[in-house]
Amino acid sequence: MVTSVTSTTDTSAAAAAMKKSLGMNKDDFMKLFVAQLKYQDPLAPQDASAMLDQLSQLTLVEQSYNTNTALQNLLTSQNNSATMSSVSFIGKDVKANGNAVPFDGTSPASMQFNLSAPVDSAQIDISDSNGNIVRTISATALNQGDSAVSWDGRDNNGNLLSAGAYTFSVKGTTAGGSTVLATTYTAGRIDGVSLVDGTPLLTIGAATISLSDVISVKGV
C-alpha cells in the first residue's frame, strides 16, 4: 500500500517537473493531439507522424524523470537503513581505523595501536586540534601486534586539559635503532550518532567515526 502511494506521488511529481521544464507534460500533449485530430479537415488530413514522434520523446523524458525519482527514493531508503544500523552501536565499545583520542575531561583515554615488529621503546605524541603536541608518553619493551597506552588527559606540564578530540602518533624504535611502523586506532564507547550530509557517523565524545572504518565491536 505504501509503495503504491509513493509510486503515484512520484509519477505526479515527474509530470509536474516535466511541465515546468518543457512547458507541458504528456497529458497536455495528448489533449492537444486529440484536439488537432478532432478539428482537422477530413478532406485534407494532417500528417500526424511529427506529433507522434514528439509524443515518443515526451514519454522518454517522463520515464527519465521517473527513473531519477526512483533512484532518489532508493538512496533515501539506504541512508535511513544505515542510520538505524548506526543507532545499534550506541553503548558499545568499538575499535576503528583512525588516530583520534576522545578525552571527556576526567577519565583516562586509551590509545590503541599495532606494531609491525617488537620495539625496545616507543614515543607516543598527543596533539590538540591545532596540531600542537601537548603530551609525549614513552613506553618500553612492546611486543609485535596490538598494544594500548593510557593517557590521563594532562599535558607535559601536568595541567589537566579540556575535553575534546585529540590525535596521537606512535614511533617505535628497535634496540638497533631502526624505526618500526605503527598502525593507530580510534577506540572507545559509542555515545551517539550524528548525520553529516546525510551520512551517519558514530560519535565518541567529540570524535566521529565512519561505519566503514569500524574494525571490531564489543557489547557492554
* Grid cell in block for residue 62: 517522463
pLDDT digits (tens, 9 = 90+) for 203-215: 999 899 998 899 9
In sign, the C-alpha dihedral spanning 112, 116, 117, 122 is negative
Closest to 170 measured CA to CA, from 197, 142, 190: 142
The answer to whether 143 and 74 have CB atoms below 8 angstroms apart is no
Q: What are phi and psi of 116, to 5 degrees?
A: -80, -10
Helix axes 49-87, 26-39, angle to 10 degrees: 160
Closest to 121 measured CA to CA, from 149, 100, 98: 149
Q: What is the pLDDT of residue 55?
A: 60
- Residues 160, 185: Cα–Cα separation, whole Å: 23
First to last CA, the chain: 40
pTM passes above 0.85: no
CATH code of the domain occupying 93-218: 2.60.40.4070
Percent of the chain scored above 90 by pLDDT?
Answer: 48
